[in-house]
Amino acid sequence: MKKILFALLLLIVVIVGYILYNTFTFPSKQITVAPASKISIPADAKEHLAKALTIRTISNENPEDFDSTAFYEFGQFVKNTYPLTDSLLELTNINEFSMIFKWEGSDTSLKPVILMGHLDVVPVATENLEKWYIDPFAGIIKDGVIWGRGAIDDKISVIGNLEAVELLLKEGVKPQRTIYLCYGHDEELGGLNGAVAIVKYLKEKDVEAEFVLDEGFAITQGLIPGTDKDIALIGTAEKGFVTLNLSIAIEGGHSSMPKEETAIDAISKAVARLKDNPFPAEITQPVQDFMSHIGPEMPFTQKMAFANPTIFRPMIISTLEKKPSGNALIRTTTAPTIINGGIKENVIPYEAHASINFRILPGTSIEDVKEHVINTIADDRIEVKEGSFNSEAPKSSSVNSFGYNTIHTTIKQIFPQVVVTPNLVIGATDSRYYYPLSSNVYRFTPFYLNSENISTFHGINERISVNDFENAIRFYAQLIRNSIELNHQ
C-alpha cells in the first residue's frame, strides 16, 4: 500500500514537474529589434485618405448599380495624387478598374513581394445614415479622426501603400526586389473580376512571389481574453466556406388532415440534427501557432496551459468554445441562414428548403462537409446541393518564412509595445486567390482594433485616427524597406 502511494506521489511530482518545466522554459517567439526612427509624414497624406473616402467606389449586390465613373475617378485620383508612383511604376489595369503597380527591382533573382488591398467599399444603408456622426462620403477630418466608409476597409491599405511608395520614391529609393501593389475592385462581391483576374494575369507572367500581404487582421486591444497587452495578429490561414442547400419534396395536402411527416417537419429535423451534431473541435496549425506565440507572453495560468497543450487540451477547448469567436477558431461552424417552405397558412407545402452556411477549418474539405451533412441528417429523401459561391480553406502559411519574419520585424519596429502572433482568420479575404503565386500569404493591416471600432467594419461610423493612419504609412514604408534591402531570400 505504501509502495502504491509512493508511486502515485512520484507520478504526481513528475507530472507537475513536467508541466512547470515546460511553463518556465516556454520560449518567447518575439523578435527583438530596435524601434525604427519615426519618419515624418507629409501633412497632406491624411487629406489624401479623406479625399479617397469621398469617391464612392461602392460594391452593390446588384451589378446594375455599379458606378463605373467612381472607379474611373479613383484611378484619376491616384494618378494625380502620386505623380512619382504614376511615372516610375508600371501600372496595368485589369478589367478596367483593378490595378497592378509594378515597382521593378534591380535583382530579378529575388522573388517579388505583393502588397494587396481593395478599392471597393460596402454600401451605407440609407436607414443607418442618421446614425453616422459624420457623412460617410464627405471625407471629413475632425478632432484627429478621418471619417468615412472605407477608412479601415480597405482604403487605409491602398492609400497607406501609395503614400509609402511615393515617400520612398521621393527619397530616391531603388529596390533590389520587385514590389507589386495589387488592388482589386470587387473584393466585397467575391473578387472574381478583381483578385481572380489579377492573379491570372500575374500567373501568366510567371510571377512567383516571396510573400503576399493582404488585409484580415490588425493590432487588437482588449479583444483577446486573458491579456491586456496589445496583440498584433498576422493571419497565416483563413477558413473556407460552403453553403449547402437542402431540399425535400413530399406530398402536401390540407392542413386539417396532416400526414405524420410533412416537408417542413423533415427539413426542420435535418437542421436540428446538424445543430445537435456540430463538427468536432480541432486545434489546427494556425491556432497551434497562435498558442505557441502568445502563450509565453500571457499570465501564468494561460502560459501553463499553452506550454502544455496536450495535457490542457480539454480545458483550452472548453474555454474557446464558450464564445462564438473562440468556437469559430476550433471548429467548422454550422449556420442555417435561409429556411423556407409554404405559401398559405392552411396548405401543407409540398417542398421545403434550408440553406446552411459552413465556415471550414483548414484541413477539412468541402467534400468532408458534404459527407458530414449527409451522414448526420441520414435522410435520403433530402437532396443536398452545393451553392455556387464556395471556397476551400487554403493551406496555412509558415511562421518561419522571410515573409512572416519581415512582417513581424516591421510591426516591432513601428509598434514596439505590441506582441506579435499568427492566427487563423475567420472571414474570407481576396488573398485566398493568391496561393498560385506564393505559399506565403499573410493578412495584417497596421491599425488598432478594439471594442470601439470593431463594429464599424461594414457598419456605421467607420473611421481611422490620423495618428493610426500615419503609423500605417510608416509601417508600409518600413515593410518595403525591409523587403527590398535586407537581401534575405
Integer angstrom CA distances of residue 162 from 202, 268, 408, 480: 20, 52, 21, 11
CA 335 – CA 353 distance, rounded (Å): 14
Q: Determine the interface stretch with Zn ion among 77-85, 147-155, 168-176, 251-259 (rule: CB under 5 A).
A: 147-155
Integer angstrom CA distances of residue 206 from 172, 202, 436, 437: 28, 6, 10, 8
CA 156 – CA 301 distance, rounded (Å): 37
Phi, psi of 213 (to 5 degrees): -120, 125
Give least dist CB 196 to Zn ion, A.
Answer: 16
Q: Determine the interface stretch with Zn ion among 64-72, 88-96, 150-158, 293-301 (rule: CB under 5 A).
A: 150-158
Residues 6+ apart with CB under 8 A from 196: 433
Give least dist CB 8 to Zn ion, A.
Answer: 56
For Zn ion, give the closer residue by CB, 163 or 186: 186
Give least dist CB 214 to Zn ion, A.
Answer: 9
Give least dist CB 151 to Zn ion, A.
Answer: 11
Give least dist CB 231 to Zn ion, A.
Answer: 20
Catalytic residues: 120, 187
For Zn ion, give the closer residue by CB, 157 or 413: 157
For Zn ion, give the closer residue by CB, 153 or 163: 153
Residue 28 is placed in which grid cell?
518567447
CB 348 within 8 A of CB 262: yes
Give least dist CB 143 to Zn ion, A.
Answer: 25
# binding residues, Zn ion (CB under 5 A): 2
Q: Does 214 help bind Zn ion (rule: CB under 5 A)?
A: no
DSSP reduced 3-state for 407: helix
Residues in 4-63 at the binding interface with Zn ion, rule: CB under 5 A: none
| One-letter amino acid for residue 127 of the chain | E
Looking at the DSSP bridge assignments, the partners of residue 100 are: 92, 182
For Zn ion, give the closer residue by CB, 147 or 183: 183
Integer angstrom CA distances of residue 283 from 197, 232, 316, 317: 34, 20, 10, 8
Q: Does 154 help bind Zn ion (rule: CB under 5 A)?
A: yes
CA 349 to centroid of chain Cα atoms:
41
Give least dist CB 320 to Zn ion, A.
Answer: 25
Q: Determine the interface stretch with Zn ion among 6-14, 133-141, 153-161, 419-427 (rule: CB under 5 A).
A: 153-161
Q: Determine the interface stretch with Zn ion among 154-162, 226-234, 242-250, 465-473 (rule: CB under 5 A).
A: 154-162
How many Cβ atoms from other residues are within 10 Å of residue 84's Cβ?
13
Task: Give residue for cell 504609412.
Answer: 473
Q: Does 153 help bind Zn ion (rule: CB under 5 A)?
A: yes
For Zn ion, give the closer residue by CB, 153 or 468: 153
Angle at 317 between CA 316 and CA 318, to 5 degrees: 95
Q: Determine the interface stretch with Zn ion among 32-40, 145-153, 219-227, 401-409 (rule: CB under 5 A).
A: 145-153
Q: Does 210 help bind Zn ion (rule: CB under 5 A)?
A: no
One DSSP character per residue, 194-207 reads THHHHHHHHHHTT-
Task: Give residue for cell 469567436.
Answer: 325
Q: Does 430 help bind Zn ion (rule: CB under 5 A)?
A: no
CB 283 within 8 A of CB 313: yes
For Zn ion, give the closer residue by CB, 154 or 297: 154
For Zn ion, give the closer residue by CB, 155 or 408: 155
Q: In the complex, which residues of this chain contact Zn ion (CB under 5 A)?
A: 153-154
